[in-house]
A and B are shown apart, each in its own frame.
Chain A
Amino acid sequence: MKAVVSRGKYFIYPIVVFLLLILLFPFFVMVSTAFKPLEEVYANPPHWIPREVRLQNFVDIWSKYPLGAYFRNSFIIAAGTTLLNMALCIPAAYAAARINFRSKSLVMYLFLVVQMFSPVIVIISLFKIISSLGLLDNLFALVLTNGVFTLAFSIWLLSGYFRSIPKEIEEASLIDGCSRLQSVVRVLLPVAMPGLVTTIIYTFITAWNEFMFALTFITSMEKRPLTLGLYNFIGRWTVQWHYLMAAALLALLPVVFLFLFIEKELVQGLAGGAIKG
């Protein structure tokens, strides 16, 4: 039997390498282009590897384009969405995990179904709501709308995490004279920190990556978040692909890094019970 396993090992490498080449190809293109000088970007036939590595591209994008503002806007939107989401989802997730009440499964069912809807269905009405609130071209509009579309999954994720923590630790603190709120804040939340971090990172990344709401609600140049800002590299100016790729590289790095931390929990949260069996 051992022999079978190790025989399998050798032909696994070409398969894995092939699959990875397919999956990583555009990132290779991104990195390669990000370091090319202009003449080389428009070389035909194109070069896979830049002949001359141009770090200046990264300096240029910061000085020539409002990239700093884009980063700041994305950060404000993502942080704001995260705060709003946490304020709403922690109590809701607590109730879902710890309290039995009538119609609880109905409420959870509703959250699950809500999570599936495309923002496009409601964007027409959201546009009206946002404009009647006077929030068009305001970053707060994106905080609200991203908050709506991350809330349901956050509640699911966090309540699942709360449920995995034994009830007894809170009960012990109640016996010791803590109030209910104290037992949550001092005992449950610290123990649930990994789950909280996962939910926070998930919300942050989703808001950071959002595109359509920004496209619809933001009109002025200086209020664009990164995704929209980069998109407007295409078309607005004749596309400077090396600049766009350099900017994309900068925009992706922090998010990919954060994402790797929480990927396992996200997979489990999204497919949920089906995996735990």
Chain B
Amino acid sequence: MFRKMIAREAKIAFWCLLPAVAFLMVFMFYPIFYVILMSFFKTNRLGNLVSYTGLGNYRFLFRRPEFWTIILRSCVWTALAVAVKTAFGLVIALSLNTDFWGRKVARSLVVIPWASSVPISAMLWQWTYNNDFGLLNHTLKTLGIWKNPPVWLAYPKPAFFANLWVDIWCGIPFMALVFLAGLQAIPTELYEAADIDGASSFAKFRFVTLPLLSGVLTVATLLSTLWTFNDFNVIYILTKGGPANSTDILITYIYKYAFQYLRFGPAASMAVITFIILLAVSIIYARAYFRERS
């Protein structure tokens, strides 16, 4: 009887999950399977499979020096962006965790860049970066912060950092909010105990805050790594990967190969490589997540 009930329950669970899982199967797992398949085929300009080439597409990619440049750039892009987002987020969270007048307003204002959509934010920045009429360089010059700021989006190096900054800027609020939530979960007694022991502010940060924040730090940086690596909108809207592919990362390059050059085969094999990288990081993330919960 009890057994039967469990079986009945399992049946209900099955029917409840079926629509969602079926939907994901058709529009997520099948596409992943198909892109893997496609990566082993020659394709025509419509993306139809023409003939099996084995590792041909992969070999084609690996022989191109710019492919390695782009892999390297994707890694540098992700590492720099995540590091700066984390640092900024931590500073904001620590500031907002102290009690001051107007803290609530400050907190809501911090959220705004996260709430505004990335595509629109990128467009705002594009205008802000404008060399002749944009307010960024004007402000930097007028306030004497930077006498000769670069023409941001016109040359490879400045364009890379301009893109990077917009990605960072979009990601700061999330980091700040997660860290803030993490900080608020730390019991105040611990700080009081540290005070009684005569600990300095730095010692409190090092021996109370950091260890207790480490779970949140791990999960947030992993999640941010995935998002940063995946960032398509900022680069596509600001520079489309230009000038001369100098700001492309793997994600934008895949898109360009498929929908601009119409070379679906190599694009698919790049997608597979990206998929493997993301899968590895996702599994690490999921593990960290489940470990934190239990």
Contacts and interface: CB of A to CB of B under 8 A. Distances in A.
Nearest to B101: A9
Interface in A105-155: 107, 109, 112-114, 116-129, 144-145, 147-148, 151-152, 155
Contacts of B275: 117, 121
Contact of A144 (B12, B27, B130, B135): B27
Interface string B229-270: 110110011000000000000010011001100001001100
Interface stretch (A28-36, A65-73, A191-199): A28-36
A230 B237 CA distance: 11
B203 interface: no
B107 to A, nearest CB: 9
B220 A124 contact: no
Interface stretch (A56-64, A168-176, A245-253): A245-253
A113 B282 contact: yes
Given A9-B100, A91-B16, A95-B12, A116 B127 contact: no
Interface string B114-137: 111111110111111010111110
Interface residues of A, number: 101
Given A19-B92, A29-B128, A109-B286, A274 B31 contact: no
A75 interface: no
A77 to B, nearest CB: 13
Nearest to B195: A1
Given A5-B98, A19-B110, A274-B219, 19 more contacts: A23-B110, A27-B112, A42-B132, A120-B254, A120-B274, A121-B32, A121-B271, A122-B27, A124-B271, A125-B30, A148-B23, A205-B115, A208-B117, A260-B108, A272-B292, A274-B288, A275-B178, A277-B185, A277-B292
Interface of A: 1, 5, 8-9, 12-13, 15-16, 19-20, 22-30, 32-33, 41-46, 48, 87-89, 91-92, 94-96, 99-102, 104, 107, 109, 112-114, 116-129, 144-145, 147-148, 151-152, 155, 180, 205, 208-209, 211-212, 215-216, 227, 230-231, 234, 241, 244-245, 248, 251-252, 255-256, 259-260, 263-264, 267-268, 270-277
